[in-house]
Amino acid sequence: MNHHALYASQDILGVMNKSYGTVHSVFNNSFNVNFGDRLVHFGAADAGLVPFGISLDKRGVGALLNVVKAGDVVYFREDDQLLMFAGGGMAISLEAAVWFNPFISESSFDKAVLKKNMQTLITLLIQEKWEAGFEEDTEVLIEAIVSYSPWMDDHPLLKGVKDLKGFLSGHSNAKGETLLDFWIGRGKGLTPSGDDFLIGMLALLAASGQLPEVFKSTIHDYIQTRGSKRTTQVSLEYLWYAVQLKFGSHVNNVCLALINGNQDDIYREASELRKAGHTSSTDTMIGILFGCQSIMEGK
Question: Domain total for the chain?
Answer: 2
What is the share, in percent, of the chain residues with pLDDT greater than 70? 99
| One domain for residues 122 and 218 | yes
Q: With 80 as the cut, is the pLDDT of residue 277 above it?
A: no
- Enter the pTM of the model: 0.96
Q: With 90 as the cut, is the pLDDT of residue 86 above it?
A: no
Residue 106 lies in a domain: no
Q: What is the pLDDT of residue 276?
A: 83
**Full residue range of the structural domain in which residue 183 is found:** 111-296
Give the contacts of 279 (CB within 8 A, at least 6 positions apart).
Answer: 131, 132, 133, 189, 193
Confidence of residue 141 (pLDDT cuts 50, 70, 90): very high
Q: With 80 as the cut, is the pLDDT of residue 1 above it?
A: no
Q: With 50 as the cut, is the pLDDT of residue 299 above it?
A: no
What is the pLDDT of the chain when averaged over all its residues? 94
Report the alpha-carbon angle 40-5-55, nearest 5.
50
pLDDT, tens digit, for every residue of 150-203? Answer: 999 999 999 999 999 999 988 777 789 999 999 999 998 889 999 999 999 999
Among candidates 131, 220, 240, which has minimal Cα distance to 180? 220
Confidence of residue 206 (pLDDT cuts 50, 70, 90): very high
Residue 160 lies in a domain: yes
Query: On the CB side of 24, how many CA atoms lie within 13 Å of its CA?
Result: 20
Confidence of residue 45 (pLDDT cuts 50, 70, 90): very high
Domain boundary among 100, 119, 142: 100
| One domain for residues 157 and 284 | yes
Q: What is the pLDDT of residue 106?
A: 94
Domain boundary among 36, 70, 100: 100
| One domain for residues 123 and 90 | no
| One domain for residues 115 and 257 | yes
Nearest-10 crossing angle of helices 249-260, 193-207: 50
| One domain for residues 150 and 192 | yes
Among candidates 1, 5, 61, 8, which has minimal Cα distance to 31? 61
Residue 245 lies in a domain: yes
What is the share, in percent, of the chain residues with pLDDT greater than 90? 90
| One domain for residues 94 and 155 | no
Among candidates 169, 201, 183, which has minimal Cα distance to 297? 169
Residue 105 lies in a domain: no
| One domain for residues 85 and 155 | no
Q: Name residue 74's beta-bridge partners.
A: 21, 85
| One domain for residues 145 and 292 | yes
| One domain for residues 126 and 12 | no
| One domain for residues 125 and 213 | yes
| One domain for residues 20 and 90 | yes
